[in-house]
């Protein structure tokens, strides 16, 4: 493109200028759209932090005040000490951590098999797997509960850990789609160099899957960290409760202390934020990776 | 190789953790030491209610040596509680004792999920308790033991009354304000506009909060036998039209306005003159320090008496419990003076079912009201009526609110809404009575 504009006349210079102005406008426009979008996304978050620092009476003040006056750090202390919050935090971290790691391992193995290994009934099995995604969770809730009751898993963390790892059809689908874009030549080359299937999966496929794994990891982490229904159904002892159950505890049947509720929510968000910041690197890496390939 | 070892370590640690998890549950499961019968009691409650509930359970466990009740708390609302109970009942592993909101009792009773308590309740000395709190299900059995009586009355902001130069409403249910007096006072209090508007009164159309107006005019939503809708009778329509007129004249906020500003917050911030609500709001309103407030009977139609709905939550024993006798022993204790006093200490359960406790503890209940206003609550029990809850009450509510929301927004005439709602209710009642 640049070599062409070099040989152009003055008229095309003004054309070029117009183009540049238009580009600036475009860019400005995109920035405005993005900033508005970001602000809209941020408002609930900021509002949560703001409410969590307000006094009880100030929550529904009119006109609403973004910066609380005075700051009530007391809410955080209340939230943290009102309940076995620290214990619930540990329970949630343990469950979510295990589920996330387990999901990444099991889904990537299944995904690799569906994408790259030929075996009898592969397509049929894949369709069956996808079909399981169509069944709403509410329908399987009671049968699952009966099953886990039979094997003595009720009131333990196991039903919150094992099923999400082994039944994540979406994760398998996501990774299969990502892996099937890998050129077969890459694998052939590895095989010629003497790697077996296992080693190819471990040394070639997985490292190239980081962006997809990061995405799946975040999804899994968030879904399980915020999961309310399953812990509610399976756990009876308060000492085994997870964060969402504890947060719901700040809600009474008739009235709710919003300030403490928001403080508790803010505390519970920290791991999600950390995971996101950490995994974001791989998202960006993913973009450059695909750029190289394209 | 290094990665493989790492990977192996991960899997191994995963497996170990799982084994660890299942182990410590195994040891916990059979911890039934000695001959003590262990009972599970499951309730839904916020943390602020727990000291009271745990209090009566601890008192029971200490009162005897044969039975140990373990209290399990569920966070959330009745919906979550019902969901969890459904799962546990279906799997054949329900808790022994539960607490169920009165609105959900027919749902459980109709499915045969509760033990019949009538033989046990027969053995109680009923003279000690308030009348008509032991309610039978349509099959004649009693499936729930009353915990306490919640009623509704009219909270009002005394400062706003003073400012508008209106006398406070009388505290005697016999002399309750008529609708005209109520509307006149509300009109005087209403002022301003926009975001700082001050409202005279709040009317919500949710039948659980407004049925008393229909009753007072000799109408209602469905008849007491729960066989026919009566929302489309002249009396009911008249009451609904009156309520809608409060919205049309700007005295009451609309459902859209209370969506952004919860109505209890509207009252607490001093922008609402009068609101009909239950005793359950007392702890929250007791926090108000910016103005004086009081409690009065709910305004009545000039054609009828003042009346208020009552809500009596129940202790139940779930079908499938292996220890029905022992579970009743616990419930019997929860209905004793000792336990009811503990609940009063923590401001739970509403008006105690035992007359003796209600009378003795008058000074400790319903503070910061004065004794005349406290009497409004105690007297309300005699003016209260049971809401005719069906076994598909939630559906009934959903369908009703689809019409009533439009009435509240003034997009549908109250008359028309009632006419449109009646056949829908009829269909739902038919389903319920099958």
Q: Give the closest-approach CA distance of A168 to chain B in angstroms.
A: 18
- Phi-psi bin for B250: left (phi > 0), alpha (psi -120 to 50), beta? left
The per-residue DSSP string of B367-378 comes to TTS-HHHHHHHH
Q: Give the closest-approach CA distance of B207 to chain A in angstroms.
A: 17
pLDDT at A15 over 90: no
* Cβ count within 10 A of residue B15: 10
Higher local confidence (pLDDT), A257 or A229: A229
Is there a contact between B198 and B391 (Cβ–Cβ < 8 Å)? no
Question: What is the rounded average pLDDT of the residues B233-260?
Answer: 91
Instruction: Supply the pLDDT for residue A277.
Output: 85
For the CA atoms of A268, B284, B198, B245, the dihedral, rounded to the nearest 10 degrees, stands at 100
Instruction: Supply the pLDDT for residue B43.
Output: 94
Closest Cβ opposite residue A157 in set B21, B76, B269: B21
ipTM above 0.85, yes or no: no
Chain A residues with CB under 8 Å of B283 CB are: 255
Instruction: Supply the pLDDT for residue A283.
Output: 65
| Interface contacts A/B by beta carbons within 8 Å | 116
Alpha-helical segments (H) within B217-336: 234-248, 255-260, 263-268, 282-285, 324-334
Half-sphere exposure of B123 (CA within 13 A, CB side): 8
Secondary structure class of A290 (helix, strand, coil)? helix
CA nearest B23 in A: which residue?
A: A156
A59–B265 CB contact, under 8 Å? yes
pLDDT in tens, B336-387: 999 999 999 888 888 999 989 988 888 888 888 888 899 999 999 889 999 9
Q: Give the closest-approach CA distance of A120 to chain B in angstroms.
A: 28
Q: What backbone torsions phi and psi does residue A228 show, to the nearest 5 degrees?
A: -110, -45
pLDDT at B9 over 60: no
B204 vs B210: CA distance, rounded Å: 6
pLDDT in tens, A20-39: 888 889 999 999 999 999 99
pLDDT at B25 over 60: no
pLDDT at A293 over 60: no
pLDDT at A282 over 80: no
Instruction: Supply the pLDDT for residue A11.
Output: 62
CA-based torsion, A109, A115, A118, A119: positive or negative: positive
A162–B18 CB contact, under 8 Å? yes
B340 vs B351: CA distance, rounded Å: 10
A56–B4 CB contact, under 8 Å? no
B72–A237 CB contact, under 8 Å? yes
pLDDT at B174 over 70: yes
A236–B7 CB contact, under 8 Å? no
Instruction: Supply the pLDDT for residue B138.
Output: 84
Is there a contact between B110 and B391 (Cβ–Cβ < 8 Å)? yes
A98–B14 CB contact, under 8 Å? yes
B334 vs B350: CA distance, rounded Å: 14
Instruction: Write down the mean pLDDT value for chain A.
Output: 84
- The residues in A 218-277 lying below 8 A from B, measured between CB atoms, are 229, 232-233, 236-238, 241, 245-255
Chain A residues with CB under 8 Å of B78 CB are: 253
B14 vs A200: CA distance, rounded Å: 24
Instruction: Supply the pLDDT for residue B24.
Output: 44
In sequence order, the 6+-apart residues with CB closer than 8 A to the CB of A61 are: B269
Instruction: Supply the pLDDT for residue A218.
Output: 87
For residue A182, name the pLDDT band (cuts at 50, 70, 90): confident
Instruction: Supply the pLDDT for residue A286.
Output: 56
Please choose, from the candidates B336, B314, B266, B281, the residue with its C-alpha nearest in 3D space to the C-alpha of residue A59: B266
Closest Cβ opposite residue B46 in set A145, A232, A249: A249
Chain B residues with CB under 8 Å of A238 CB are: 72-73
Q: Which fold has domain B36-147+312-360?
A: D-Maltodextrin-Binding Protein; domain 2 (3.40.190)
B284–A254 CB contact, under 8 Å? yes
Instruction: Supply the pLDDT for residue A5.
Output: 46
B250 vs B202: CA distance, rounded Å: 10
For residue B126, name the pLDDT band (cuts at 50, 70, 90): confident
Distance of CA B157 to the CA centre of its chain: 23
Least confident of A12-26, A163-177, A205-219, A257-271: A12-26
Instruction: Supply the pLDDT for residue B29.
Output: 41
CATH number of B151-310+386-432: 3.40.190.10
Instruction: Supply the pLDDT for residue A289.
Output: 52
pLDDT at A273 over 90: no
Is there a contact between B339 and B333 (Cβ–Cβ < 8 Å)? yes
pLDDT in tens, B93-103: 899 999 999 99
Instruction: Supply the pLDDT for residue A210.
Output: 85
Q: Give the closest-approach CA distance of A173 to chain B in angstroms.
A: 23
Structure tokens at B193: 């506009």
Q: Give the closest-approach CA distance of A292 to chain B in angstroms.
A: 26
Instruction: Supply the pLDDT for residue B36.
Output: 87
Is there a contact between B87 and B347 (Cβ–Cβ < 8 Å)? no
Secondary structure class of B71 (helix, strand, coil)? strand
In sequence order, the 6+-apart residues with CB closer than 8 A to the CB of B291 are: B157, B158, B159, B160, B270
pLDDT at B323 over 60: yes
Helices A85-116 and A158-166 cross at an angle (nearest 10°) of 20
Chain A residues with CB under 8 Å of B11 CB are: 105
Structure tokens at B25: 């549950």
Q: C-alpha distances in angstroms, A212 versus A104, A106, A285, A287? A: 10, 14, 11, 11
How many degrees, rounded to 5, is the angle at CA B16 between CA B12 and CA B21?
150
pLDDT in tens, B11-24: 555 555 554 444 44
pLDDT at B2 over 70: no
B343 vs B55: CA distance, rounded Å: 8
Please choose, from the candidates A259, A223, A220, the residue with its C-alpha nearest in 3D space to the C-alpha of residue A244: A223
Decide the pairing of beta strands B148-157 and B293-296: antiparallel
pLDDT at A56 over 80: no
Higher local confidence (pLDDT), B293 or A13: B293
Is there a contact between B153 and B293 (Cβ–Cβ < 8 Å)? no
Q: Give the closest-approach CA distance of A45 to chain B in angstroms.
A: 18
Closest Cβ opposite residue A233 in set B84, B92, B195: B84
Instruction: Supply the pLDDT for residue A238.
Output: 87
Instruction: Supply the pLDDT for residue A8.
Output: 52
Decide the pairing of beta strands B272-278 and B148-157: antiparallel
Q: What backbone torsions phi and psi does residue B293 show, to the nearest 5 degrees?
A: -140, 160
Break chain B into its structural domains and give their ranges: 36-147+312-360, 151-310+386-432
Structure tokens at A195: 């790697």
Instruction: Supply the pLDDT for residue A108.
Output: 94
Structure tokens at B203: 């009317």
pLDDT in tens, B39-79: 999 999 887 788 899 999 999 999 999 999 999 999 888 88
CA nearest A230 in B: which residue?
A: B84
Q: C-alpha distances in angstroms, B211 versus A129, B144, B262? A: 51, 23, 20
- The residues in A 152-211 lying below 8 A from B, measured between CB atoms, are 152-158, 161-162, 202-203
Chain B residues with CB under 8 Å of A151 CB are: none
Q: With an 8 Å Cβ cutoff, is A105 touching chain B?
A: yes
A77 vs A264: CA distance, rounded Å: 10
B91–A255 CB contact, under 8 Å? no
A61–B75 CB contact, under 8 Å? no
Q: Which of B7, B11, B25 to mutate to test the interface with A (most CBs of A within 10 A)?
A: B25
Question: What is the rounded average pLDDT of the residues A129-148?
Answer: 88
B268–A203 CB contact, under 8 Å? no
Instruction: Supply the pLDDT for residue B8.
Output: 58
């Amino acid at each position: 493109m640049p070599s062409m504009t070099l040989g152009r006349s003055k008229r095309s210079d003004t054309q070029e200028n117009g183009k540049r102005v238009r580009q600036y406008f475009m860019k400005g426009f995109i920035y405005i759209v993005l900033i508005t979008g970001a602000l809209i996304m941020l408002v609930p978050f900021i509002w949560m932090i703001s409410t969590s620092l307000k006094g009880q009476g100030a929550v529904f003040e009119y006109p609403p005040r973004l910066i609380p006056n005075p700051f009530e750090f007391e809410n955080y202390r209340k939230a943290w000490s009102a309940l076995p919050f620290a214990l619930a935090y540990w329970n949630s971290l343990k469950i979510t951590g295990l589920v996330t790691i387990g999901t990444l391992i099991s889904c990537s193995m299944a995904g690799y098999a569906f994408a790259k290994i030929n075996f009898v009934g592969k397509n049929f099995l894949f369709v069956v797997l996808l079909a399981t995604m169509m069944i709403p969770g509410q329908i399987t809730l009671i049968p699952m509960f009966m099953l886990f009751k039979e094997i003595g898993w009720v009131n333990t963390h196991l039903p919150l850990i094992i099923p999400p790892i082994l039944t994540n059809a979406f994760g398998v689908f996501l990774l299969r789609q990502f892996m099937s874009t890998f050129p077969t030549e890459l694998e052939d080359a590895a095989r010629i160099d003497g790697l077996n299937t296992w080693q190819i999966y471990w040394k070639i496929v997985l490292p190239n899957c980081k962006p997809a794994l990061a995405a799946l990891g975040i999804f899994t982490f968030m879904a399980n960290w915020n999961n309310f229904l399953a812990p509610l159904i399976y756990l009876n002892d308060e000492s085994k409760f997870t964060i969402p159950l504890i947060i719901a505890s700040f809600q009474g049947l008739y009235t709710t202390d919003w300030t403490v509720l928001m403080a508790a929510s803010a505390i519970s968000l920290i791991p999600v934020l950390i995971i996101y910041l950490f995994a974001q690197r791989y998202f960006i890496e993913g973009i450059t990776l695909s750029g190289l390939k394209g | 190789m290094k990665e493989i070892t790492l990977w192996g370590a991960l899997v191994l640690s995963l497996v170990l953790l799982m084994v660890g998890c299942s182990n410590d549950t195994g040891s916990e499961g059979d911890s039934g030491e000695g001959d003590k019968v262990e009972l599970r009691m499951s309730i839904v409650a916020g943390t602020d209610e727990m000291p009271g509930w745990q209090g009566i359970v601890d008192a029971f466990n200490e009162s005897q040596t044969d039975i140990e009740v373990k209290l399990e708390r569920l966070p959330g609302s009745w919906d979550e509680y019902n969901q969890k109970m459904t799962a546990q009942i279906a799997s054949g592993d329900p808790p022994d004792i539960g607490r169920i909101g009165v609105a959900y009792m027919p749902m459980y009773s109709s499915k045969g999920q509760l033990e019949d308590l009538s033989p046990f309740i027969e053995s109680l000395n009923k003279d000690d308790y308030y009348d008509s709190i032991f309610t039978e299900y349509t099959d004649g059995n009693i499936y729930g033991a009353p915990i306490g009586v919640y009623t509704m009355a009219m909270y009002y902001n005394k400062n706003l009354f003073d400012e508008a130069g209106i006398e406070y409403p009388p505290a005697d249910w016999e002399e309750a304000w008529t609708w005209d007096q109520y509307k006149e006072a509300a009109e005087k209090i209403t002022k301003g506009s926009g975001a700082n508007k001050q409202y005279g009164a709040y009317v919500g159309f949710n039948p659980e909060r407004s049925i008393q107006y229909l009753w007072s005019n000799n109408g209602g939503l469905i008849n007491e036998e729960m066989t026919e809708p009566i929302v489309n009778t002249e009396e009911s329509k008249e009451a609904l039209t009156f309520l809608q007129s409060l919205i049309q004249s700007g005295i009451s906020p609309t459902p859209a306005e209370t969506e952004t500003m919860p109505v209890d917050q509207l009252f607490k911030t001093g922008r609402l003159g009068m609101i009909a609500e239950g005793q359950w709001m007392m702890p929250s309103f007791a926090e108000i320090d910016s103005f004086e407030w009081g409690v009065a009977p709910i305004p009545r139609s000039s054609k009828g008496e003042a009346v208020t709905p009552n809500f009596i939550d129940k202790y139940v024993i779930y079908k499938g419990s292996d220890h029905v006798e022992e579970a009743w022993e616990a419930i019997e204790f929860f209905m004793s003076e000792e336990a009811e006093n503990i609940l009063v200490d923590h401001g739970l359960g509403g008006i105690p079912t035992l007359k003796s406790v209600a009378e003795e503890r008058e000074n400790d209940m319903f503070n910061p009201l004065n004794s005349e206003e406290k009497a409004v609550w105690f007297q309300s029990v005699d003016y209260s009526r049971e809401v005719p809850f069906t076994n598909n009450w939630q559906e009934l509510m959903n369908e009703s609110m689809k019409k009533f929301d439009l009435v509240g927004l003034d997009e549908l005439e109250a008359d028309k809404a009632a006419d449109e709602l009646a056949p829908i209710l009829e269909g739902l009642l038919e389903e319920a009575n099958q």
